[in-house]
A and B are shown apart, each in its own frame.
Chain A
Amino acid sequence: QVQLVQSGAEVKKPGSSVKVSCKASGGTFSSYAVTWVRQAPGQGLEWMGRIIPIFGSANYAQKFQGRVTFTADEFTSTAFMELSSLRSEGTAVYYCAIGTRSLYYFDIWGQGTLVTVTS
C-alpha cells in the first residue's frame, strides 16, 4: 500500500517562497495524479492543482496560477509543490493526495505540512 510522507513544517517571511515535498513509500506514484490541497486554519479543503508525474503535466487552480509550481522526480517517487510570493493568507496546512483507484477522488493523503507565513 502506497503511503505519502511530506516534509516538515516551515516558517516563512512574506514575499518568500516555500517548497514542500511529498514522497511515496511502499510503491511509486508515477502512474497516479498527485493532487495538492490547502487548508487554512479553521477552514475547509481547497484544491490547488495536480501533476501527473509520468507525463510531467500539471494543472493549476486559477487562484494560484503564476505563483505555484508542481514538479515530480520519478526516480525518488517524490512530488514537490513550490509556492512563491507568500502572503500571510498562505498560512495553512498543505496536503498531497492521490487516487489509487480513480482520478476523481483521493484515497491516500500525506500527513500534511504546516506552512506559517509571518514577519
Chain B
Amino acid sequence: SYVLTQPPSVSVAPGQTARIACGGNNIGSESVHWYQQKPGQAPVLVISYDSDRPSGIPERFSGSNSGNAATLTINRVEAGDEADYYCQVWDTSSDHPVFGGGTKLTVL
C-alpha cells in the first residue's frame, strides 16, 4: 500500500509562510488532495488535484507537487489557520484513498 509521510508538526509566526510537506514514492505522478481539520471538527478540503482551491478557500492556500514531495503552502498565516493538515492520494493499486499521518500547524 502507498505510504504518505508528513512531519508531525510545523510552527510559524503570524504573517509568515507555512509549508507542509507530504512525501511519497514518486508522488509527483499522483494527484494530491489536502484537508484542514480544526479541533472537534470534520476535515475540510482545502486543495484538490495538487493545486486547485475549492470555492470558499482563501487564496492564501496553495499547493504544489513534484518528484517525491507535495507541499501545501499557506501565505500570511493567521491564528485561525492553526489546525491539523492531512494529505491524501488515491492508491490505484489497491483502489482506495491513502491519508498522510497529519501535520499539526501551530501559529506562534
Query: Which residues in A have some Cβ–Cβ distance to B below 8 Å?
Result: 35, 44-47, 49-50, 59, 61, 95, 97, 101-107, 109-112
Q: Taking the nearest CB of chain A, how far is it from the CB of B24, in angstroms?
A: 15
Are B48 and A45 in contact, with the CB atoms below 8 A? Answer: no
Question: Of B12-20, B65-73, B74-82, B98-106, which binds chain A?
Answer: B98-106
Q: Taking the nearest CB of chain B, how far is it from the CB of A25, in angstroms?
A: 15
A50 CA / B95 CA spacing, docked (Å) = 11
Q: Inside 8 A of B88's CB, which chain A residues have their CB?
A: 45, 105
Are A105 and B42 in contact, with the CB atoms below 8 A? Answer: no
Are A45 and B31 in contact, with the CB atoms below 8 A? Answer: no
Q: Inside 8 A of A50's CB, which chain B residues have their CB?
A: 96
Label chain B's interface by main secondary structure: strand
Query: Which residues in B have some Cβ–Cβ distance to A below 8 Å?
Result: 31, 33, 35, 42-45, 48-49, 54, 86, 88, 90, 95-102
Are B86 and A105 in contact, with the CB atoms below 8 A? Answer: no
Q: Taking the nearest CB of chain A, how far is it from the CB of B10, in angstroms?
A: 15
Q: Name the contact of B43 in the complex, choosing from A45, A46, A47, A104 (C-beta under 8 A).
A: A45
Are B97 and A47 in contact, with the CB atoms below 8 A? Answer: yes
Which 10 A-B pairs rank lowest in CB-CB distance, beginning with the nearest?
A: A105-B33, A109-B42, A104-B90, A45-B99, A44-B102, A107-B45, A44-B101, A105-B48, A47-B97, A112-B42
